Structure 1
Amino acid sequence: MATAVFRNSQMSEAEWEARQQLAACYRVFDMLGWSEMIYNHITVKLDEEGAFLINPFGLHFSEVTASSLVKIDIDGNKLDDSPYPVNRAGFVQHALFHRHLPDAHCIMHTHTTAGMAVSSVEGGLQPSNFYACNFAGQIAYHDFEGVTVRDEEGDRLLAHLGNKRVMLLKNHGILVMGKTLPEAFIKHWSLQRACEIQVATMSMGRPLLVDEAVVAVHQRDLHMAQVPGGAGAADFAAMVRKVDKIDTSWRN
C-alpha cells in the first residue's frame, strides 16, 4: 500500500483539491470494476502551464492517494519528489491531448471488458440502447497501432479525434475527455454502460437500432434529465460517498 503523505506547505490549495478529486476518482473507478492491474490512467491538468497529475506507475487504483499522485510537465518531467515512475504509455497519450486541447482538463483511458469488446467489432458502438443514443455521431475512432509509446502517433490521434471529445481506440478501449473531472466521469460511465448493454444485446441476436430522428430528439432533451450543478457533479459526488463508506485513505 502507498504510504500516506499529507499536503506540504509548498502546495497550493487548488492543487491539493485537484489531487483529492483525482484520487477519489481512481477509487471510484476501482469500486466500479474499471481497474486494470497497475495500468490505465486518469489525468487532470493543473492551472500551472503544462502541469498535470497522473497515477504513480506501480500502484493499483485502489492504492492511489492524493499525495501519491505524480505531478509532471507536458514533456514528462517530474515536478515533485515522488518516488514513483510514470508509465510512458499513459504519458504520451495524455500529454498530447493536454498540450493541444485547452478544454481537455480531465482525460480518462480504460481497458474495460465491454469497452474493449465494442472497440473491437466492425461498426463500434451502435445506437441500440438509451446510453448509446447519447453518443451517436459524437464518437471518434482511431486504428490500433500498438502500445501508445511513440510520439509520432500523436498527429493521427489528434486528426482522428477532430472536434469530438470521446474516442474508441479500436481493439484497445475507451478514451474520454471533459472540461471538468465530473463531466469526464459521467461520459465514461455512460459510454461504459452503453458498451455493456450492447455486448449483452448482441449475445441475444440482432439489435434494434434507433432511428436517427429519435436519436436527435433524445440528444436534444438530455439536458432536462440532469441534476443542477454541472455535468456529472451530482453523480460523481454520490460515488465518492460510496467510496468513503469503504475507505477514506484516498484523502491523504
Structure 2
Amino acid sequence: MALVSLSSSHANDIKNSVSHEEWQERSKLAAAYQLAALYRWTDHIYTHFSVRVPGPEEHFLINAYGLLFSEITASNLVKIDLDGNIISDPTGLGINRAGFVIHSAIHRARPDLKAVLHTHTKDGAAVSAQKDGLLPLSQHALGYYSRITYHEYEGIALDLDEQQRVVQDLSTSNVMILRNHGLLAGGVSIEHAFRELQGLERACNIQIAALSGGRDNLHYAPQSAIDKVKAQSQRFQHGTDDITQKHWNAAVRQLEAANLLSYKN
C-alpha cells in the first residue's frame, strides 16, 4: 500500500511543483480513470489513458503500471516524454510499455488530440473481434459509424515499428477499433475524449445485446439515416460544443455522489 498511497505532504509537493494548468489536467485525467472504474470499463491494471502536459515540452501523463484505475490520483500519475523517458514517477512503478507505444505514437503524430483513452471492455473487445466491426444498429453507433477506423491486431503492442501503422490507420479520425483488442478515443480535451469513448462503449454494448437475438433479426439503420446522423454529429466531433462540457460535469457529479473524490489528491 505504501507504493499506492502517497502521503498528503508528498501529494502537495507534487501539486506545488507543477503549473496550475498541469494540475488541472492531472485532476481531470485522474477523474477519467476513476470514472472508468466506476463504469466497470477496466481490465485490472491494464489499459491506459493519457493527456498531453500543457506547455512547450513534449510530455504526457499516463498511469503508473500496477495501480488499479480506482487508485489513480492527480499526484501519482507518471510524466514521460515522447521517447519514453520518465520525467517523474512518484510511485516508482514505471509504465506499461504497450501504453507508451500506443499513446506516444498518437501524441507525436496528432498534436490536436490532447487526450487519448484506450479500453479492453468485454463488449468493446467483442465488437473488435467481429468481421463487420461496428454495425449501424443504434443511434449511438451512427455517431461513429461513418468515421470509425480500424487497426489490425499485431500482438501485444510492444514494438516501436507498429507505431507508424497505428497512426496511419487512425488517419484523421479520433476514434478507432483495435481489432481483437479494444477501443480507442482521442479528443481535443479530456472531456472530449471521455465523451467519445463513453458513446462508443455504449454503441458496443447495444450491438452485443442486439446480436444475442440472432443476426437474422437485426434491423440496420437506412443509409439516409446514416448520412443524416453523420451531418448532425459533425458539431460534436471537435469537442468544442457546450454539450461536451455538460456531459463531463454530469460524470464528475457521479464521482461526487459516489464519494470518489480521491482523484483530486
Establish whether TM, by shorter chain, passes 0.5: yes
Q: In the TM superposition, what whole-angstrom CA distance separates every residue of 1:25-68 from its partner, at most 9, and x where no partner exists?
A: 10101000111100110000012321000011110000011000
Match of 1:140 among 134, 149, 160: 149
Selected match of 2:230 from 214, 219, 228: 219
Give the Cα separation in 2 of the matches to 1:93 and 1:234. 29
Q: Once the 2 structures are TM-superposed, how far is the Cα of residue 218 of structure 1 from its aligned partner?
A: 1.9
- Cα 1:136–1:124 change in 2 (3 A) is same
| TM superposition shift of 1:247 | 2.0
2:39 maps to what in 1? 32
Residue 220 (structure 2) aligned to one of 209, 216, 222: 209
Larger deviation, residues 190-199 vs 202-211? 202-211
2:253 corresponds to? 241
Partner amino acid, structure 2, of 1:66 = A
8 Å CA contact 1:182, 1:231 repeated in 2: no
Is the contact made by 2:25 and 2:51 (CA closer than 8 Å) also made in structure 1?
Answer: yes
Cα distance change of structure 1 residues 177 and 231 upon mapping to structure 2, 3 Å threshold: farther
User: 1:244, CA displacement in angstroms?
Assistant: 1.9
**1:225–1:160 CA distance, 2 compared to 1 (3 A):** closer
- Superposed, 1:67-106 pairs within 5 Å as 67-82=75-90, 83-106=92-115
For 2:231, the aligned partner's letter is: R
Q: Which residue of 2 aligns with 1:63?
A: 71
Q: In structure 2, what is the Cα distance between the partners aligned to 1:107 and 1:153? A: 17
Post-superposition Cα deviations, 1:133-173, rounded to whole Å, max 9, x if no partner, equal: 11122011111000001000111112211111111000000
- Judge which range, 21-30 or 1-10, deviates more: 1-10
5+ residue gaps, structure 1: none
Say which of 160, 168, 186 aligns to 1:151.
160
Following superposition, the deviation at residue 222 of structure 1 comes to 3.9
The verdict on how the C-alpha distance between 1:224 and 1:156 changes in structure 2, with shifts beyond 3 A counting, is closer
CA distance in structure 1 between the aligned counterparts of 2:137 and 2:59, rounded to whole angstroms: 40
d(CA) in 1 for partners of 2:169, 2:232: 28
Aligned to 2:193: 184
- Which AA in structure 2 matches 1:167? M
The partner residue of 2:20 within 13, 36, 42 is 13
Identical pairs, percent: 37
Q: Provide structure 2 residue ranges, at least 5 long, that are not aligned to the other structure.
A: none
Opposite residue 102 of structure 2, the aligned amino acid is Q
The separation in 2 between residues aligned to 1:239 and 1:8, in whole angstroms, is: 24
Q: Deviations along 1:75-118, whole A, 9 cap, x unmatched?
A: 11111252220110100110010011111100011000010000
Q: What is the DSSP-based 3-state SS (H/G/I as helix, E as strand, rest coil) of the residue aligned with 2:40?
A: coil
- Please report the TM-score for the alignment, with normalisation by the length of structure 2: 0.90
Secondary structure of residue in 2 paired with 1:30: helix
Change (3 A) 1:241 1:133: same
Judged with a 3 Å threshold, the aligned counterparts in structure 2 of structure 1 residues 164 and 223 are, in CA distance, closer, same or farther, namely: closer
Cα distance change, pair 166–8 in 1 and its aligned pair in 2 (3 A): closer
Q: CA deviation at 1:10?
A: 2.3
Amino acid at match of 2:107: H
Q: Following the alignment from structure 2 to structure 1, what is the Cα–Cα distance between the partners of residues 243 and 107?
A: 20
- Counterpart CA distance in 2 for 1:225 and 1:26 is 22
2:176 aligns with 167
- TM-score w.r.t. the length of structure 1 is 0.94
Root mean square deviation of aligned Cα: 1.9
Of 207-216 and 107-116, more deviation after overlay is shown by 207-216
